[in-house]
Structures are given as C-alpha cells and as structure tokens.
Amino acid sequence: MDQTIQRNSKSQISFTNIKVVHKYDSLQTPTIYIITATYPRMVQLAELTRLCHTFLHVKNLHWIVVEDVNVPSDDLGIFLRKCGVPFTLLSERTPPDQVLPPGQPRWRYPRGVVQRNRGLQWLRDNLKLRLNKGVVYIADDDNTYSLRLFDEIRTTKRVSTWPVALAGRLKWEGCVTKPDHSDVIDRMQTIFKPWREFPIDMAGFAVNLDLILSHPDAKFYADPKFFGMLETNFLKNLGLKNFTELEPKADGCTKASLISFLLDSLLILLNNMLLGNPNTFSEVLAFYSHFNKFPVTVTTNYAYILVWHTQAKDPDIISLDKLKTSIQNTMLPCDI
C-alpha cells in the first residue's frame, strides 16, 4: 500500500492513502473537505471511529482533523493512519480566555471555534481559488451522518442546507420550503433565536470551496456577545444576507417528519409569544396556512434524516482507591 506521510510542523500531519476505494479517482468530482474539531477525552477515538467508518464509503473526501492541544497526540495520529481516509491532522489550542470556566454554562464559550478556523486557514493556505473544486463541511465528532448527505452536498453551488435531527431542543431543526416550490426556502424550523438571519445548526449547511477561498477573512467568533450567532456571522461574512439564499437539499428539505413540523411549530409560536416577538401573530396565520395545505395522513419517517445530533458521554470510571474505599464502607462488621 502506497502512503504519503508529511510532517510540515509540530502541529500538522498530512496523510494520503493512495490505493483504496476512496482514492481521488476523478478530477471532475468535487472533493468534500470535512473539518472536524476534537479534543482529548475517553470517548474521543470512539466518536472518531464512527466518523472514520462513515467517511471510508465516500469518494473524494479529505478529512481535516483539528485537535485542541499544542501538539497532535500520537494516539490520534496512529488512529487516523489506520483509519484509511485521506486526512490532515492539525492542532490549535483554545486560548485560556476562551476556555469555559468550571460551573459556567457551555454556551458562554462554544467548543471548536479556533479549531474550525484553523481548518479553514489550512484550506486557504493549500488550495487555489477556481483551481481546486470542492465543498467544505463542518462535521463535529459527536454527530452521526448518513451517507446520503455527501451525495447531496457535493453539488453545492454556494451554500446548501437541510434539516438536522435532534437539534435545537426539537426533533429536527432546519429549512422548510414552499409547498409549491421545493427549491425555495419559506421559513426555518427553530426555537433558538428565530430572528437570526440564519437560524441554522452548524451541522446543517455546506459551503462551496470557492466561496471560502474568495472570502479570506470569513471565520467563526467565540466572543460571548455573539452567543448563538456562530453560523449567522460566518455566513454573513461569506457575503450572504439571509436564509432565503441557501440551497435546499434533501428533496426540498422534506427529509424530516412533517407531523413533527406541525407539532413543533406550535411550540415555536408559544416560545416566540413568551419572548414578545412582534411577528407572532403573522406567524400564527402562516402556521395555519401551512397546516391546511398538508394532508393529515402523512406519517413520521426518520429513515431519511441526513444528520443526527448525537453525543457519547465519558463513562464514570471509578479509580481503584475509590473502589477500595467503597468496598470497605459497604462491608458488614463481623465478629472474629
């Protein structure tokens, strides 16, 4: 098996496996560049194994893995070489002032911001505008991806989108197209800050490589004042104005539960009423308009979902000292 391994610096390892099924077999087929931010923890390699086994089935895919450390860990490098997917391993340590303090809510400093930006910088440093054809997708290591997703996003012209399951405290979150125009996004199914120009999940969009390369300053911001605006600010920096400019994938964003949409829409409206959203009344009218256009015989089918928000938590491993103390404390006294 021919392999090319290049250590460009202490913070980067590049690897291309040439003679495998997912090799770069066609210059006409756009390459999918996956950026995955990761950090050391017990389930890290378990999560990445799931992604590896998915990506092995996708042709023309390059996996950019960015670890939240000063120098890439040896275990991760060994894992990626054995995985067999063409990859680049980078490292970018989260600055101390962006590390979430103990006891603080996770939203104050979202994970993976500087790591994703490092991945974007690698693309700009190594690829050429209009010469390298491809699509860029941010794939978190704790999500689950259908193989159909990659067929969908490979044809992205600017920025494409689709529903994401188990996101935003809903059964699914994302785009909803007009009943008579499946290529036009009518609204976004979301509860969290629905007034955002792009009320979208990080796992719910892909960007054409040329758009990334032609906007060298577009990046993600970790500042708490931009809480919940990572996706919106990034897409605005790419020159887009709002979600109506996105390209709906997944058969016009229909690869999700319609019944779920109807029920969750009521929850969204109630949430907006509590927040004092001035557009609530018009949204109620729009909801009933949508409801009347859909037959009630439609049933839920999650088999067509392209992305799931999933997460494996570190197991509660007890140390030998704690185990010994626990056993001693639970032993019944006995007379000798």
Return the active site residues.
Answer: 231
Question: Are 209 and 134 a contacting pair, CB within 8 Å?
Answer: yes
Cα(25)–Cα(30) distance, integer angstroms: 11
Question: Are 158 and 249 a contacting pair, CB within 8 Å?
Answer: no
CA 198 to chain centre: 15
The DSSP string of 239-303 is T--SGGGSEE-HHHHTSS-HHHHHHHHHHHHHHHHHTT-TTHHHHHHHHHHHHHHS-TT----GG
Residue 282: other Cβ atoms inside 10 A: 10
Is 183 marked as a binding-site residue?
A: no
- Report the relative pairing of strands 61-67 and 87-91 from DSSP bridges: parallel
Retrieve residue 63's tokens: 């996996």
Q: Is the dihedral of CA 71, 75, 78, 80 positive or negative?
A: negative
**Closest to 143 in 3D by CA, of 200, 196, 202:** 202
Residue 312: other Cβ atoms inside 10 A: 14
Query: At residue 60, what is the residue type?
Result: N
Specify the long-range contacts of residues 224-231, CB closer than 8 Å, at least 24 apart. 224/108, 224/109, 227/107, 227/108, 228/107, 228/192, 228/193, 228/196, 229/193, 229/196, 230/110, 230/113, 230/202, 231/198, 231/200, 231/201, 231/202, 231/205
Task: Give the residue numbers of the binding site for Mn(2+).
Answer: 142
